[in-house]
Structure 1
């Protein structure tokens, strides 16, 4: 494609993007306001991104870690329609301008919004203040990559809290860095690294079992890092167990990239990086006794 033709296409997408966000307005909180609400109101979080919209619409999700199904679609639609006062539904902050993002990110969202926002709007509520789903992705996509303040704020979510992490078997959330250093106590349930939704009920039952063992489960914080299954479980845990549950997504990997000063989505040895442009996982034997002792249950096999 010639440079001139490419510029023409990009200009058309930018124009279509501007028309789309004017015709289909969406209100999304800032990163800071989102995290502040999560802390102050002890809100649970379900995040909806472009992948979740594709699963909802039964479109081809492409090369992902989760197979699509009618059940997955229906459960995600149920989440985005939720107005539970204890659950904050979050969307990407891409509906009022893209200047804060890197050029390649701007190109992606120009194209995505131009093509898909009309379809998205079928599921959205123009009167709802959505949280910002990028609170779990506060680094790699931004032009200004001084993310220290937002990471500092995020760490207050679990400050002096007991945490149950529900994660893929290769996720290893918070291992090898200080992301969770302010937490009181950490336990983990390991689930399949890919296609976790197929084990939705088993995962929920394991969480319920853990909650029943806790003497004061109301102070428990559940962090879910299992793709769209986390989006669904955050809502269910909040409704049925009255526990704060956060679909925390890629935050640990973003923090690793931030600490390294990464300019691209590079591999992190010993952790599953779904968005890596090369392989997704470089195995590294975990000998950390602290991590091993945190594993309360392993249902990943």
Structure 2
């Protein structure tokens, strides 16, 4: 599966994906999937109990099971050990999210369904030893509410529900330097205020201690929203242990942008880091004075 990245192996990779997809029924019969709540149930739990959530995608699971570097995060033993600790953690108000493909394949687009069948067939046999079969997991795809679904009639209501998490709250947003969540749309218009701390777009774990030390000194009444790839998981976890409510919101803003545009494929969003879209990691600068005024700290890797 080291052929996952790069255009040279596009067609062999596609054939391999369909092969893996074909053995999915056997894999889940041999290895029953973990207990995961639905997306609405996950959001409702966060709202009802002011929980924090650390969300795992397929990349983080590969990072654990195969010690693989990702395109935007090199392998780091400390980060990987954090992932293993989180997956087995047992804190009442810190939810651990696994992707929607591990919950249900219903209503996913055909290609997304095939992709998740392949991911589970490849990843789950190796990663299941790091999971607790008796643990209740939640849905990491609470931030992916539009693009991968055949029927998107639920998307508007789901976005409205997830936005209610920060209704009239003061937000501390910890994000990659080119993520620019909420800039140019109304995602956070119902929040009371927004402050931003910027970290690196790639290899953000290099700045983990600096980001954690900074955030730890902020008012605990702030709702901490994190969008920093793999590094968001341990940051969210450590801040939640300190008494913050911390939500790893990942791709929510990009999904919202696609929803507002009625996009039918993953397109580049101008001025924002769009890692899953073609040329989406090439990001232009933006001239937005309101956004700039919200930035209170920067922790950027030196080139």
User: What TM-score do the two structures reach when normalised by structure 2?
Assistant: 0.89
Write the distance in 2 (CA, Å) between the matches of 1:132 and 1:96. 7
Match of 2:238 in 1: 236
Deviation of 1:53 (Å): 1.1
- Residue-by-residue CA offset, 1:173-222 (whole Å, 9 max, x unaligned): 1111011011001100011111100111011111123x1xx3xx2x2200
Are residue 290 (structure 1) and residue 297 (structure 2) matched?
no
Match of 1:271 in 2: 272
Alignment map for 1:1-301 (pairs within 5 Å): 10=18, 13-22=20-29, 23-62=31-70, 64-146=71-153, 147-209=155-217, 211=218, 214=219, 217=220, 219-239=221-241, 241-286=242-287, 288-300=288-300
- Residue-by-residue CA offset, 1:69-113 (whole Å, 9 max, x unaligned): 211111111111111111000001223542311111111111111
Write the distance in 1 (CA, Å) between the matches of 2:197 and 2:54. 19
CA contact (8 A) 1:267 1:282 kept: no
CA contact (8 A) 1:93 1:132 kept: yes
Deviation of 1:7 (Å): 9.6
Unaligned segments of structure 2, at least 5 residues: 1-13
Match of 2:8 in 1: none
Write the distance in 1 (CA, Å) between the matches of 2:117 and 2:267. 24
Write the distance in 2 (CA, Å) between the matches of 1:119 and 1:275. 25
SS at match of 1:95: helix
Write the distance in 2 (CA, Å) between the matches of 1:113 and 1:58. 14
Aligned residues: 286
Write the distance in 2 (CA, Å) between the matches of 1:95 and 1:33. 15
Write the distance in 1 (CA, Å) between the matches of 2:273 and 2:280. 9
CA contact (8 A) 1:24 1:121 kept: no
CA 1:17/1:182 → structure 2, altered by over 3 Å: closer, same or farther?
A: same
Deviation of 1:15 (Å): 4.9
Deviation of 1:115 (Å): 1.9
Write the distance in 2 (CA, Å) between the matches of 1:54 and 1:114. 12
Write the distance in 1 (CA, Å) between the matches of 2:136 and 2:186. 32
Write the distance in 2 (CA, Å) between the matches of 1:229 and 1:35. 22
User: What TM-score do the two structures reach when normalised by structure 1?
Assistant: 0.90
Write the distance in 2 (CA, Å) between the matches of 1:43 and 1:260. 31
SS at match of 1:94: helix
Runs ≥4 residues deviating over 6 A: 6-9
